[in-house]
Amino acid sequence: PIQPTSKIWHNGNLIPWDKAQIHVMSHVVHYGSSVFEGIRCYGQPQGAAVFRLPEHMQRLIDSAKIYRMTLPYSLDQLSNAVVELIEANGVAPCYIRPIALRGYGEVGVNPKNSPIEVYIVNYPWGKYVAGDDGADVCVSSWSRPAPNTLPTLAKAGANYMNSQLIRMEADINGYAEGIALDVNGYASEGSGENLFVVRNGVIYTSPLANSVLAGITRDSVLTLARHLGITVVEQALPRELLYIADEVFFTGTAAEVTPIRSIDRIPVADGNPGPITKQLADEFFGIANGLKPDRFGWLTPVNVN
Ligand code: PMP
């Protein structure tokens, strides 16, 4: 359950949590017309910092552009709004949820007269994918949308109907998460995480062409791996590669770096998090938590006392 904070940012103003409401006839309610982000603010020895804030806001702008939504705020305005909100609420560490949606105005599918509303919410939040020693996951019977259906590079609300099918199915069958295949049968990603495989010291992840979101954590992990001198390959992942991998892990803002312990009840190697997963998780959490130097400029400090 969400722990409410004091304020929500709405179209440039901070409004009370309870006043952030939309009409049932808003376009988004009927047709899924929203784009959003999920961002984390980490606690640090000297306070707190938002992880890769401009990159997330750029993706929000990109998602909006794909759907012909013109956001009336610049990258800087959106990024500053997040800092302003966190400082006003005084809640950190936290999760940040910016959302741009088509509002109340038009009932038809064509949204041309629906106003665009932008909200930013922040609230405290913990771990996402269950299992500290690794998650038990399945390959989903649902696929990610084909490339010419719902564009997966847009982080759009409607895409998460597909994610819900994947996640609910996994859950009722006793798995922490599902891995969806793409329309050609290659492993793409989890319902809300990118997927990585390690085999013989090489890191593999699905390319953007395989119906994945361009994850910011995916990019961070690829950057860290290259920096550590580990070979990384973006290539289509055959399903069976998952079963014979040395290591498999998820990445995501919510999932962070989550080791996968088994897939379809087949253990990944000996079932324990592998050395490359651990090394990447160490680097990732080290930077996010301010215990290692921010050598890639990923952190935006916020003042919360
Ligand atoms: N894929 C999907 C479908 C997601 O929802 C997410 C979470 N935003 C990710 C991948 C991971 O992206 P990121 O690392 O930017 O959170």
Counting ligand 1 atoms within 8 A of each CB, the residue from 143, 193, 210, 298 with the most, and so the one to mutate, is 193
Residue 25 Cα to ligand 1 midpoint, Å, equals 29
Question: What mean pLDDT is reported for the chain?
Answer: 96
Question: Tokens standing for 11?
Answer: 């179209």
| pLDDT tens by residue, 250-295 | 999 999 999 999 999 999 999 999 999 999 999 999 999 999 999 9
Close Cβ partners of 227 (under 8 Å, ≥ 6 residues apart): none
Half-sphere exposure of 168 (CA within 13 A, CB side): 7
Residue 64 CB neighbours (<10 A): 21
* pLDDT score recorded for residue 108: 95
The DSSP bridge partners found for residue 198 are 203, 247
Q: How confident is the model at residue 131 (pLDDT cuts 50, 70, 90)?
A: low
CA terminus-to-terminus distance, the chain? 24
* pLDDT score recorded for residue 272: 94
Q: Say if CB 248 and CB 267 are below 8 A apart.
A: no
| pLDDT tens by residue, 94-119 | 999 999 999 999 889 999 899 999 99
| pLDDT tens by residue, 68-101 | 999 999 999 999 999 999 999 999 999 999 999 9
* pLDDT score recorded for residue 305: 75
For the chain, list the domains and their CATH numbers.
Answer: 7-123 (3.30.470.10), 135-288 (3.20.10.10)
Residue 119 Cα to ligand 1 midpoint, Å, equals 19
Residue 258 Cα to ligand 1 midpoint, Å, equals 13
Q: How confident is the model at residue 1 (pLDDT cuts 50, 70, 90)?
A: confident
| pLDDT tens by residue, 192-214 | 999 999 999 999 999 999 999 99
- Which residues are identified as catalytic? 155
Q: Is 38 in the pocket of ligand 1 (CB under 6 A)?
A: yes
Nearest CA owner, ligand 1 atom 7: 192
Closest CA relative to residue 287, chosen from 300, 269, 276, 273 = 300
